[in-house]
Structure formats: C-alpha cells, structure tokens
Amino acid sequence: MRQYSADLTPPWKRPKPTPEVPAEPGLVVEEPGTGFCGAVIRCEAGTVTLEDRFGKHRVFPLEPRGFLLEGRVVTLVRPAAGPVRPTRTASGSVAVPGARARVARAGRIYVEGRHDAELVEKVWGDDLRIEGVVVEYLEGVDDLPSIVSSFAPGPDARLGVLVDHLVPGTKEWHIAESVTSEHALVVGHPYIDIWEAVKPAALGIEAWPRVPRGQDWKTGVCRALGWPSENTGAVWQAILRRVGSYKDLEPELLGRVEELIDFVTGSGGA
C-alpha cells in the first residue's frame, strides 16, 4: 500500500528553513531578545562573543534561530577550522586579524547626529578602534562652539567635526568657520541628510527624491518612495543594513571622513 505524508500543508505555506551562517570574525548580527547588536569577535564551543560599537562585549549561546542578520532570522554556527578572514575592512583598509583596540586617544571626531555616527561606525569602525578614535554626535550645530570650547583642542587632542549640508554663507558655515583652528577641523558633505550619502543603487532606487523646501526631508523622502514615514528610525536601520562597505557610499562623504581620521590621528599633517 502506498504511504502518504501526514503533512498536508501546501509547499508555499510551509516555513522556510532557517539558514545557517558561520560566525566569522567581523560578522555583524543582532540578538533579538536583548536588542544587542555587534560584530563577532570570538566563537567557541556553544557560545559567540559580540562587540558593539562602544566596545562592550556580550556572550550569547549558539541557539537555533538565535540571531538576526540584516533583519533575517539565522542560526549561527561555529566556523570550520581555519576560517579565511577578510583582507579588507568595510572602509577598504587592510584588515589586521586579531588586532586589539587601541586605548582611546584624547582626540575625538564629532558628527551631527546618531544616524551619522552609526554609518561611520558601520564602515570605519574597525579602523577607528585600531586607531583609538572615539566618535560622538552633536545634538545640533548650534552647540558646536560650546563643545569646542569645553574640549579645548590641542596638539595631543585634536578635534574633527563632520557637518551635514555645509554650504558657504549659511549659518552652519559661519559657525564652522568660527571654531576652526590649527587643532580643530570642521568639514562638511553636500547632502541634506546623511541618508543621501548612501548610493541609491545600494537601496534599489534610481535616485533620492527631491523634497520641497520647508518640508521635513526624511518624512518627504519616505512618502515619495512609499516607505513608512511614521518611523524614520526604523527606515534608517533598513538603509544601514544595505550598506556593506565604502563602495555603497558617495565619494563626497568618503573623502571627508578619511580626512578627519587622518587629522585626528596626526597622519594627515598638522
């Protein structure tokens, strides 16, 4: 007698198997139970250690369906013996396997907002940790003079600042000019918001839409592209997940960030 399967669920309704992903060093994942997001720095029998962008470490068990990778549920597994490590970081620099983070310098890089800081961490995080450079963000450019005054930049404590949409003649431009000195460098990119520094091709769109003057830019972009405008923070996280390396960013941003890193570390000349 022919035996029939007891599972009568149509194939298109059956749950898809969860992909298994080797926990290679540098892989960025999120543990959904705690919301902790970080890069894999160690994988041992039954556990994986993650490091977030602030250098904090957390150890998690390697459980089935235990992590999110670019928003998808995955099962992390221990890599095969002798894993091949990346030869380049996300910024394009030569990777240094096993390199320890340097003790933080006195110098700092400030960016204009949280999204800017998260993008810089995503692409330049490995470089910044090796160089010991900490990235912080402003609440607004208006606060820049008081921050620079309190920081008191000097030869051993340089300050670099990245400003959105820095256009000559604007209020922001005058503020930047007023605080720039031998040991404080303020540079800007041409984009209204850091979102625009992500290449449209990386997001599967033809171009960033134009938003009428006077309308909130992020909200206008979301509406024009059919993205949920009521939660721009979630939209940004989806955008950030599509950034894999410097190749997904516009050169106008790349040059400015590299310039600030060189300035703060002293490798770009005084």
User: Does residue 173 fall inside a structural domain?
Assistant: yes
* 71 vs 14, more confident: 71
Q: 40 and 144 share a domain? A: no
Report how many domains make up the chain: 2
Query: pTM for the whole thing?
Result: 0.62
Extract the tokens encoding 213. Answer: 């003057």
Mean pLDDT of 225-247: 91
User: Tell me, what CATH number does 23's domain have?
Assistant: 2.30.30
Q: Is residue 222 part of a domain?
A: no
Q: Per the domain annotation, does 165 fall within a domain?
A: yes
pLDDT in tens, 99-111: 444 445 678 899 9
**58 and 143 within one domain:** no
Tell me what the mean pLDDT of segment 231-257 comes to.
91
pLDDT at 76 over 90: yes
**Across all residues in the chain, what is the average pLDDT?**
83
**147 belongs to a structural domain:** yes
Q: The domain containing residue 128 runs over which residues? A: 108-196+246-265
Residue 45 has a pLDDT of 74
Query: Do 144 and 252 fall into the same domain?
Result: yes
- pLDDT at residue 4, rounded to an integer: 46
Q: Which residues contact 156 (CB under 8 A, 6 or more apart)?
A: 106, 107
Q: Tell me what pLDDT residue 97 has.
A: 52
Query: Closest Cα partner for 141 from 178, 104, 98?
Result: 178
Give the model confidence (pLDDT) of 26-66 as tens digits: 888 999 988 888 888 888 878 898 887 767 788 899 999 99
- Tell me if 58 is assigned to some domain: yes
pLDDT score for 241: 92
Q: Which pLDDT score, from 0 to 100, does residue 143 have?
A: 85
134 and 35 within one domain: no
In this structure, is residue 21 part of a structural domain?
A: yes
The CATH number given to whatever domain includes residue 134 is: 3.40.50
pLDDT of residue 90: 62
Q: For residues 143 and 69, state if they share a domain.
A: no
Residue 201 lies in a domain: no
Q: What is the pLDDT of residue 105?
A: 63
| Residue 124: inside a domain | yes
For residue 224, the one-letter residue type is A
